[in-house]
Chain A
Amino acid sequence: MDTTADLLKTPLHSLHLELGARMAGFAGYDMPIQYKMGVMQEHLHTRANAGLFDVSHMGQILIRAKSGDVRDAALALEAVTPVDVADLKPGRQRYGLFTNDKGGLEDDFMVANRGDHLYLVVNAACKHDDLARIEAALSDTCEIEAQFDRGLIALQGPAAEGVLSSYAPKAEDMLFMDVTELEIAGVPVVVSRSGYTGEDGYEISIPAEETDRIARLLLSDDHVAPIGLGARDSLRLEAGLCLYGNDIDEATTPVEANLKWAIQKVRRNGGAREGGFPGADIILSQFDNGASRLRVGLQPAGKAPVRAGAVLFAQETGGEAIGTVTSGGFGPSAGGPVAMGYVPAAQAAPGTTIFAEVRGKRLELAVASLPFVPSTYKR
């Protein structure tokens, strides 16, 4: 159990308190769950305007090849991830996965080619394990630098481009998943055009001692409101994005999780660099033969939210459990309850009717295509 005294603080901790945030422990950090606006309005504000999120609890890791060639670092990283890192061009970022010997997922992350090094952003709860995993596999050939105290801010929503460009005009020219160094108010920052809300926007990596000043500067724009982890969760759920620990974990494979798109052809059977990552035999066999269960969107027929942990059934009465809801709640932009979960492959087609047990009653759900709310990435 987290107690406040043991919790770590991000560089924006005092700003959160000043803004009247309701705080709670998350992945060992004292984090803002919501501000005065409340989860519902914060969610809607992000989709209509721009939201500022403190994601400094996440882990930032730099990897430099001892040879000096970033491709060597990329090839070395491919020993622990099934994604194509070596073909990632300078200034570009992509979604990555760490796998284990059973084909399960140890974490998901973002990796960018920064020209002379790789830049990774990993989940807060996994960052120490991820660092150990990278060090074990790469330390012979690479220098690894954890920047766990550095600030990281996400600026998300349709107004994000205008706001950031007013301080750093080149932000406007970036496309989804571009990464570059920009300057905001004299501070060099690493900016990616990405995020985890389904909206266009940026993630901005800032030296710890300047993070508070930059956050206040961005918040001084009338378009920008501070947004807590509550709305971050409902935004990513509507966008159909996985939350590590809920929707994906060490016992779910990328194929089961419907993340096949994250494993490029070059790493699959028949590719130039096929396999060579933990669990490759299991994962690549599922590419060819299919997985027995799949992550799907779930649209409750009624108004009641169906939340993580609810057990799924094929029929309204009787029968064995067929799966579990892994994320669920109310989608403010969807205007009703939305959920995700795992079902047998035979029941994974959109439109399939299934049932979830909530407070002793079986509620009807339809398997639904993801995302629930269309993404607005600037491609």
Chain B
Amino acid sequence: MLKFTEDHEWLKIEGDVATVGITEHAAEQLGDLVFVELPEVGAKLDKGGEASTVESVKAASDVYCPLAGEITEVNQAIADDPSLVNSDPTGAGWFFKLKLDDAGSADELMDEAAYKSMIG
């Protein structure tokens, strides 16, 4: 199941674990990324908490935790090579895996059609 947030994140949900990344639209808006700071594995985050920071040549932006949960895995590859987020935002450019406090909480997020209509 693929879900989206208003902050331009995607979540691929398998059971109670969500793999989280930023959308192609977000990656394009941010421009070439030069730095990614990932959360600590084991960190417990609330919905909307600061999960990660991404920086382009111009500016730093926050990536928010889309749902409450615990970070179980991070993608070290994007910290080593931030350009992966630009070249493959929905694949190799994933950010982290989140064990959801409530697997049902994903239902409130947008599906792909709703997200696409939001970004126009």
Contact = CB atoms under 8 A, between A and B. Distances in A.
A38 B32 contact: yes
Nearest to B50: A359
Given A230-B57, A330-B55, A332-B57, A38 B34 contact: no
Interface in B67-81: none
Nearest to B62: A359
Interface string A295-323: 00000000111010000000000000000
A40 B60 CA distance: 15
Q: Which secondary structure dominates chain A's binding surface? A: mixed
B57 A234 contact: yes
A329 B58 contact: yes
Contacts of B37: 304, 359
Contacts of B58: 33, 39, 230, 233-234, 329
Given A40-B57, A230-B57, A234-B57, A304 B35 contact: yes
Contacts of A234: 57-58
Given A234-B57, A305-B55, A40 B35 contact: no
Contacts of B32: 38-41
Q: Which secondary structure dominates chain B's binding surface? A: strand
Contacts of B56: 39-40, 330
Interface string A18-55: 00000000000000011000111101000000000000
Q: Interface residue tally of chain A, by bracket?
A: 20 to 34
Given A39-B58, A43-B57, A305 B35 contact: yes
B35 A39 contact: no
A169 to B, nearest CB: 36
B87 interface: no
Interface in B27-55: 31-32, 34-35, 37, 53, 55
Interface of A: 33-34, 38-41, 43, 230-231, 233-234, 303-305, 307, 329-330, 332, 337, 359
Given A330-B35, A337-B34, A359-B37, 11 more contacts: A33-B58, A39-B56, A40-B31, A40-B57, A43-B57, A230-B57, A230-B58, A303-B34, A304-B55, A307-B60, A329-B58
